[in-house]
């Protein structure tokens, strides 16, 4: 008769388990606080041991994130968080690797690292805080700032056209693409849960307010008077309907999307039914182009499709080669392929 006693289940994690003893040092009122709170609430719900989480960041206000998360972390250099996170995920694929980055960090100097992480489908989660400004370096326009933006580096207005982050990541082949807003806490937490469940690269753009250098950038989405007409939620299997009275929608007209009003004789049946799992990213790409003032801004899951991850493919390749070649020696590996012997010139004593 067995006398083994089952080990007690580990205590359930809480938000407090993911909070550090570090003073959170963002400007009072910064949207980063809301994002931090949402992440710290979602992590304990995932049923993953705390020691398996790693938070990696680059440079910027958002990149303080690892200091405030009681997990393993790595504060890297400007734009290089995806590269470091990729190496970590390759070496330790069982870890839950999350990246905290900003619109400047990821869309400018880090753009190349970002797109290759996405096209490879590395199993990391990327949270891009988008406040449309460089906050840490005190208010220069960023790659997502609107044309005409007056800042310290563009005193008469920026002449740049802004990047559309979701268009960029969809074009790079991202398998999970979403958008939320810092103060839409319930929506943000659900979006983070969905990202955590995704096996490959999950990219979440989070609109957040910088009340010091770009205050009220997203007021049209957050004010009670305007948000019903300024925001449309993408919900899988549901028609794209919006407005305070749910009296407007989005339909396909040829190859374009357009706003329709039910007062003109249209109904919800005329609206596009959202399919986040469509194999083609075409609809998601069109939805990413919906911009004010002509369209409401979409939030939710733009795309969620499954594809083998980069680390799975690489590890399968390694195992295949190991099975084919068997055990070997390091010396054989170092001398494999093209090698050269460098011979020194003979020296004859004078």
Q: Would you say residue 163 lies in a domain?
A: yes
Q: What is the pLDDT of residue 328?
A: 74
- How does residue 78 score in pLDDT terms, banded at 50, 70 and 90? very high
DSSP annotation of 275: -
Structural domain count of the chain? 1
Residue 222 CB neighbours (<10 A) = 18
The fraction of the chain above a pLDDT of 70, given in percent, is: 95
Q: Would you say residue 31 lies in a domain?
A: yes
**1 pLDDT above the threshold of 60:** no
**333 pLDDT above the threshold of 80:** no
Q: Would you say residue 91 lies in a domain?
A: yes
Q: What is the pLDDT of residue 99?
A: 98
Q: Return the CATH number at 19.
A: 3.40.50.970
Q: What is the pLDDT of residue 343?
A: 79
The fraction of the chain above a pLDDT of 90, given in percent, is: 85
Contact between 71 and 50 under an 8 Å Cβ cutoff? The reply is yes
Contact between 141 and 328 under an 8 Å Cβ cutoff? The reply is no
Q: Which of 154, 146, 148 is nearest to 130 (CA)?
A: 146
Q: Would you say residue 66 lies in a domain?
A: yes
Q: Would you say residue 264 lies in a domain?
A: no
User: What is the average per-residue pLDDT within 292-308?
Assistant: 97
**349 pLDDT above the threshold of 70:** no
The count of C-alpha atoms lying within 13 angstroms of the C-alpha of 163, restricted to the half-sphere facing its C-beta, is 21
Q: What is the mean pLDDT of the chain?
A: 93
User: What is the average per-residue pLDDT within 85-89?
Assistant: 97
For residue range 2-41, what is the model confidence (pLDDT) as tens digits? Answer: 566 766 667 799 999 999 999 999 999 999 999 999 999 9
For residue range 42-74, what is the model confidence (pLDDT) as tens digits? Answer: 999 999 999 999 999 999 999 999 999 999 999
Q: Which of 135-149, 273-287, 327-341 has the highest mean pLDDT?
A: 273-287
**244 pLDDT above the threshold of 90:** yes
CA distance 190 to 187: 5
**337 pLDDT above the threshold of 90:** no
Residue 28 sits in which domain range?
A: 15-232+292-311
CA distance 218 to 103: 15
Q: Would you say residue 322 lies in a domain?
A: no
Q: Which of 204, 202, 201 is nearest to 121 (CA)?
A: 201
Instruction: Tell me the two tokens of residue 179.
Output: 């958008």
């Amino acid at each position: 008769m067995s006398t083994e006693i089952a080990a007690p289940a580990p205590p359930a994690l809480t938000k407090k388990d993911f909070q550090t003893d570090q003073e959170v040092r963002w400007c009072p009122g910064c949207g980063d606080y809301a994002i931090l709170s949402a992440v710290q609430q979602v992590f304990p719900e995932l049923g993953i041991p705390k020691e398996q989480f790693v938070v990696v960041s680059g440079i910027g206000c958002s990149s303080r994130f690892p200091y405030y998360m009681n997990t393993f972390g790595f504060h890297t250099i400007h734009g290089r968080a995806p590269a470091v996170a990729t190496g970590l995920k390759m070496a330790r694929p069982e870890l839950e690797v999350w990246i905290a980055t900003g619109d400047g960090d990821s869309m400018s100097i880090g753009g190349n690292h970002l797109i290759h992480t996405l096209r490879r489908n590395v199993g990391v989660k990327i949270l891009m805080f988008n406040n449309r400004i460089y906050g840490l370096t005190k208010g220069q326009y960023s790659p997502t700032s609107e044309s005409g933006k007056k800042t310290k580096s563009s005193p008469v207005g920026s002449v740049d056209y802004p990047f559309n982050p979701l268009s960029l990541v969809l074009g790079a082949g991202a398998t999970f693409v979403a958008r939320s807003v810092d103060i839409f806490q319930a929506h943000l937490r659900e979006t983070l849960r969905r990202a955590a469940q995704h096996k490959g690269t999950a990219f979440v753009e989070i609109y957040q307010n910088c009340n010091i250098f770009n205050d009220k950038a997203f007021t049209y989405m957050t004010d009670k008077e305007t948000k019903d007409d300024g925001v449309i939620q993408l919900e899988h299997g549901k028609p794209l309907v919006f407005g305070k009275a749910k009296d407007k929608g989005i339909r396909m007209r040829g190859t374009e999307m357009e706003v329709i009003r039910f007062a003109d004789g249209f109904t919800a049946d005329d609206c596009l039914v959202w399919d986040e799992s469509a194999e083609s990213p075409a609809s998601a790409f069109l939805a990413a182009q919906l911009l004010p003032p002509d369209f409401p801004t979409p939030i939710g899951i733009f795309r969620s499709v499954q594809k083998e991850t980069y680390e799975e493919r690489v590890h399968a390749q390694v195992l295949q080669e190991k099975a084919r070649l068997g055990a070997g020696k390091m010396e054989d590996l170092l001398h494999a392929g093209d090698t050269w012997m460098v011979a020194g010139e003979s020296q004859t004593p004078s």
